[in-house]
Amino acid sequence: MNGRWQEAWRWVLPGTGLKRWGALVLAGTLMAAAGGAAYGRGVGGEAGLLAVLGGAVVALVALRETVMAVAGTLAPERTRFLADVMRQRRERERGPRAVVLGGGTGLATLLRGLKLYSDRLTAVVTVADDGGSSGRLRQEMGILPPGDIRNTLVAMADTEPLLERLFQYRFTRGEGLSGHSFGNLFIAAMSDITGDFQEAIRQFSRVLAVRGQVLPSTLQAVRLRAVYSDGSSVVGESEIPKARRPIRRVYLVPPNVKAVPEAIEAIEAADIVVLGPGSLYTSVIPNLLVEDVAAALRRTSALRLYVCNVMTQPGETDGYRASDHVRAILQHVPGPRVVDCVLVNTGEVPAHLLERYLAEGARPVEADVAEMQGMGLVVVSGPLISLTQVVRHDPVRLAEAVAALAGLGRQVGEPGEHLTVEEVLARGQQRGRTGLRRHVLLV
């Protein structure tokens, strides 16, 4: 018996709960057909009509229970109408092909919202991290740092909250365990078992039902070297902000590393490539220092969007305006420009939060729109911050804007044009290319 017949036979084995409903569908259909035939011949009268109606009701109820039995197995929690779930899933399957480059919490924030719009997501994550749990595992096991990749996988996951908490859990006790997150240890163990770091990521993705794919920018061990404005330098991603001196340039050590081929393919086939948000010199730019990635960015026909940070970062971007962030990216990627459009926040930071950030040396990034227009960039601005106890992008609002920009592509505006987020959303609605409808965000 071949595989197809074996699969068909399993449907009639006991325990599926489908046979009784299937039998009722068949019985109801036959009852309605017999009643209809009798009524048509004029021999059944009202009894024939009742048979048609009764058979139809039985068949429809049984059919509904059959569908719900299957749907209940695939999605046990019936918190929404099945039709809505199916419609939204189909919309995500047809969503924009989006590639996001970065690392840290900024990348995770965007992806938490963007997964509502599309299943065709690719996150390309820097592997230059050398601090904390990731740094220890990197040194002790010789693997690539898993921390940023773990955060990204969890952000893209479609899984139970308890499972998410498990993989983000950080041990606070135990010799050798303290400071490690469970997710980091899982990736390290899977990498050791398979002998392949990328395969470990794939297995993690299956466990968490990740929407899309997460890829390291390179599979080679790299470190980050920063040269400051006074000519001094330091090696190590975790060491770079500590000097609190203006950064002139960052480099990969070693410099000539190969990109993951799937990342290049995703960039070349994308509708939109998003840089950031995230730490400028230690999360965003390191991906662009992989020459294959930079070359793919130059070749792609996708809209290349930079999402500027909401706040400056002490030790990295002190005093930076939005245009300074963009200029740093362009200086690190020579040749044809790799940014077409900049998305920048103009919402005000609440006073009670601003005071705390100022005390830590962080300030809101100034949206110097005119300066970026002068660079020939399309600038999109609007309130994008979340109203929580932490100043960061609102994942839903940010993703809504990115999805609209993905639908518009490079036709979003003329070089040097300034648009508001609302104008971008309106243009997307007019052209019918905004990705998933807004109502999904209310779910």
What is the C-alpha separation between 119 and 212, in angstroms, rounded? 5
Two tokens, residue 41: 């011949």
pLDDT at 6 over 70: no
pLDDT at 204 over 80: yes
Backbone angles phi, psi at 344, to 5 degrees: -135, 140
Tell me if 106 sits within 8 A of 278, measured CB to CB.
Answer: yes
- At 314, is the pLDDT very low, low, confident or very high (cuts 50, 70, 90)? very high
- Both 292 and 382 in one domain: the answer is yes
Can you say how many angstroms the Cα of residue 244 is from the centroid of all Cα atoms in its chain?
A: 32
- Both 99 and 21 in one domain: the answer is no
The alpha carbon torsion through 182, 188, 189, 194 (nearest 10 deg) reads 140
- Coil, helix or strand for 95? coil
What is the C-alpha separation between 205 and 212, in angstroms, rounded? 9
pLDDT mean over 139-156 = 93
Specify if 33 maps to a domain.
Answer: yes
Which is nearest to 47 in space by CA: 35, 58, 59? 35
pLDDT tens column, 321-349:
999 999 999 999 999 999 999 999 999 99
What is the C-alpha separation between 140 and 198, in angstroms, rounded? 19
- Both 22 and 111 in one domain: the answer is no
What is the C-alpha separation between 254 and 223, in angstroms, rounded? 7
User: CA dist 202 to 104, 111, 211, Å?
Assistant: 19, 18, 12
- Both 386 and 301 in one domain: the answer is yes
User: Measured at the alpha carbon of residue 29, what is the angle toward residues 27 and 33, in degrees to the nearest 5?
Assistant: 115
Two tokens, residue 235: 């090696």
Specify if 266 maps to a domain.
Answer: yes
Tell me if 317 sits within 8 A of 241, measured CB to CB.
Answer: no
Specify if 195 maps to a domain.
Answer: no
Tell me if 224 sits within 8 A of 253, measured CB to CB.
Answer: yes
- Both 68 and 112 in one domain: the answer is no
- Both 309 and 356 in one domain: the answer is yes
Exposure string of 100-135, with b = 16+ CB inside 10 Å and e = fewer, is bbbbbbbbbbbbbbbbbbbbbbbbbbbbbbbebbbb
pLDDT mean over 77-100 = 72
- Both 335 and 368 in one domain: the answer is yes
**pLDDT greater at residue 434 or residue 218:** 218
Number of folded domains in the chain?
A: 2
pLDDT mean over 3-21 = 60
- Coil, helix or strand for 123? strand
pLDDT at 216 over 80: yes
77 CB-contact burial (10 Å; exposed 0-12 / middle 13-18 / buried 19+): exposed
Specify if 127 maps to a domain.
Answer: no
433 CB-contact burial (10 Å; exposed 0-12 / middle 13-18 / buried 19+): middle
What is the C-alpha separation between 338 and 335, in angstroms, rounded? 9
- The chain-wide mean pLDDT, for the chain, equals 87
Q: How many CB atoms lie within 10 A of CB 313?
A: 19
- Both 287 and 346 in one domain: the answer is yes
- Both 425 and 339 in one domain: the answer is yes
Last residue of a domain, which of 40, 72, 104? 72
What order of strands is seen across the sheet that includes strand 341-345?
A: 213-216, 121-125, 98-102, 272-275, 303-307, 341-345, 378-382, 418-420
Specify if 358 maps to a domain.
Answer: yes
What is the C-alpha separation between 307 and 276, in angstroms, rounded? 5
Span of 13-22, 301-310, 323-332, 423-432 with lowest mean pLDDT: 13-22
- Both 298 and 392 in one domain: the answer is yes
pLDDT mean over 266-288 = 97
Which is nearest to 281 in space by CA: 247, 243, 326, 323? 247
Two tokens, residue 115: 């997964």
Specify if 154 maps to a domain.
Answer: no
Specify if 271 maps to a domain.
Answer: yes
Specify if 225 maps to a domain.
Answer: no
- Both 103 and 48 in one domain: the answer is no
The Cβ-side half-sphere exposure at 259, using a 13 Å CA radius, reads 23
State the DSSP H helix or E strand holding residue 297, giving kind and residue range, or none if neither.
helix 291-299
pLDDT at 441 over 50: no
Tell me if 154 sits within 8 A of 108, measured CB to CB.
Answer: yes
- Both 28 and 97 in one domain: the answer is no
The helix-helix angle for 182-194 and 147-155 (nearest 10°) equals 110
pLDDT at 40 over 70: no
Q: Which residues form the domain of 44?
A: 17-72
Radius of gyration of the chain, Cα coordinates, nearest whole angstrom: 27
- Coil, helix or strand for 113? helix
Tell me if 145 sits within 8 A of 127, measured CB to CB.
Answer: yes
- At 38, is the pLDDT very low, low, confident or very high (cuts 50, 70, 90)? confident
Q: Which of 22-31, 152-161, 273-282 shows the highest mean pLDDT?
A: 273-282
> What is the 3-state secondary structure of 313-362?
CCCCCCCCEHHHHHHHHHHHCCCCCCCCEEEEECCCCCHHHHHHHHHCCC
